[in-house]
Amino acid sequence: MAIKIQHNVSLLPYNTFGIDVKAAFFTSVRTEGEMREALRSGISPVLVIGGGSNILFTRDVAGLVIKNDISDFRIVRQFKNRAWVDAGAGVPWHDLVIRTVEANLGGLENMSLIPGTVGAAPVQNIGAYGVELKDVFVSLKAMETATGRTRTFNLKACAFGYRDSIFKRELNGKYIILSVRVSLTTHRHNLNLSYGDIGKTLASMGVDKPGIRDISQAVCHIRRSKLPDPAEIGNCGSFFKNPETDIAVLNEIRKTHPDVPSYPLSDGRVKVPAGWLIEQCGWKGKKVGNTGSYARQALVLVNYGGATGEEVKNLSDQIILSVQNTFGITLEREVNII
């Protein structure tokens, strides 16, 4: 079926920050063939979006916005204790989690309720509660924007890092992810209970021998209690990455803030929670015009209604400057600014 390309379309329903900008051209695609057809339209530049839950639009978008709705789901191969699952890029991430948990396939449960689509998950190597996509990733299929040719990327080729991959760097905008393959356990699941409040929440749920379904429910419970629902307050989750820094910088901070939290990294450096740094600088819960830092989690910037992307970006610039001046640490944005 031929795709329909619309002109001058509001992107308000397509981004969780609730920013009202327009796309010069807009289409949605449901198959690989339709994606190729969209690219053949020759309209450029091309911006592919999924759920719009990690994008801050600061102006109207020239060129063609393609909403990826490719939504197949298949269990492709079973091994002794593992199964491979292929999911189309347009499948909502949490639907994939639920479908695999219901099929008693383990590995995604700690990443329950992360908004967005399967196709965007490799872009920033999504992660939550001690598990990242790379831990279960096998490969992905992507289409080169310039040629329409497809290519398979294995784990190494994706160059995953903390909220990072080759698709955010060298190949930014050059490939459109069509599907993702993950490897999940069929029994003897590797349960990861140590992170955050999972153990405590399971105990409060009266679960003493948890399975993957219990963990998924506990994670959903914790996330609902801590994070703002984009349907009620516009946001993109964590706006900044947790900075990784040298121990010398941490020791300097300890002189004035002995209680600074930190997590050791394998390379001898440390990770400091960005939310803590932002809170210490007095931003937590602070409202600036129509935007602000969320009262229950300083790391989340929110749109209280009617904010422009420029307003949110300006607030993030002010926060970066104030953390830099107070602690000598430069925060990096996690959200993609368009």
Using CB under 6 A, pick the residue from 27, 28, 110, 124 that binds ligand FAD. 124
Asked whether position 68 contacts ligand FAD by CB under 6 A, the answer is yes
| Whole-Å CA distances, 331 to 11, 178, 291, 296, 335 | 28, 31, 19, 20, 12
E-strand ranges in the chain read 6-10, 22-29, 46-49, 55-56, 61-68, 73-78, 82-88, 127-128, 131-132, 137-144, 150-154, 175-185, 234-238, 244-245, 263-264, 270-271, 287-288, 291-294, 297-303, 336-337
Asked whether position 52 contacts ligand FAD by CB under 6 A, the answer is yes
Q: Which stretch binds ligand FAD (CB under 6 A): 23-31, 56-64, 114-122, 256-264?
A: 114-122
Using CB under 6 A, pick the residue from 108, 158, 171, 227 that binds ligand FAD. 227
β-sheet bridge partners, residue 240: 333
Using CB under 6 A, pick the residue from 29, 39, 47, 171 that binds ligand FAD. 47
Asked whether position 120 contacts ligand FAD by CB under 6 A, the answer is yes
Query: Given its phi and psi angles, is residue 331 left (phi above 0), alpha (psi -120 to 50 degrees) or beta?
Result: beta
| CB distance 136 to 190 below 8 Å | no
β-sheet bridge partners, residue 143: 150, 176
Q: Which stretch binds ligand FAD (CB under 6 A): 80-88, 100-108, 214-222, 235-243?
A: 235-243
Q: Which stretch binds ligand FAD (CB under 6 A): 185-193, 210-218, 230-238, 324-332?
A: 230-238
Rounded Cα–Cα distance for residues 44 and 87 (Å): 27
Q: Quick one: 41 exposed, middle or buried, by C-beta within 10 A (0-12, 13-18, 19+)?
A: middle
Asked whether position 16 contacts ligand FAD by CB under 6 A, the answer is yes
Using CB under 6 A, pick the residue from 55, 131, 180, 182 that binds ligand FAD. 55
10: its two tokens: 């509001």
Using CB under 6 A, pick the residue from 18, 88, 115, 275 that binds ligand FAD. 115
DSSP H helices in 21-91:
32-40
| CB distance 49 to 65 below 8 Å | yes
Using CB under 6 A, pick the residue from 19, 101, 176, 272 that binds ligand FAD. 176
Asked whether position 126 contacts ligand FAD by CB under 6 A, the answer is yes
| Nearest CB to ligand FAD, comparing residues 138 and 253 | 138
| Nearest CB to ligand FAD, comparing residues 144 and 279 | 144
Asked whether position 216 contacts ligand FAD by CB under 6 A, the answer is no
Rounded to the nearest whole angstrom, what is the least distance from the CB of residue 96 to ligand FAD in the complex? Answer: 12
Q: Which residues are catalytic?
A: 163, 238, 334
Half-sphere exposure of 9 (CA within 13 A, CB side): 18
Rounded to the nearest whole angstrom, what is the least distance from the CB of residue 23 to ligand FAD in the complex? Answer: 12
Residues 6+ apart with CB under 8 A from 125: 132, 133, 134, 158, 160, 161, 162, 163, 164, 165
Asked whether position 275 contacts ligand FAD by CB under 6 A, the answer is no
Asked whether position 121 contacts ligand FAD by CB under 6 A, the answer is yes
Contact letters for ligand FAD, residues 128-167 (x by CB under 6 A): x--------------------------------------x
The contact set with ligand FAD (CB under 6 A) reads: 16, 47-55, 68, 89, 114-117, 119-121, 123-124, 126-128, 167, 176-177, 227, 230, 235-237, 336
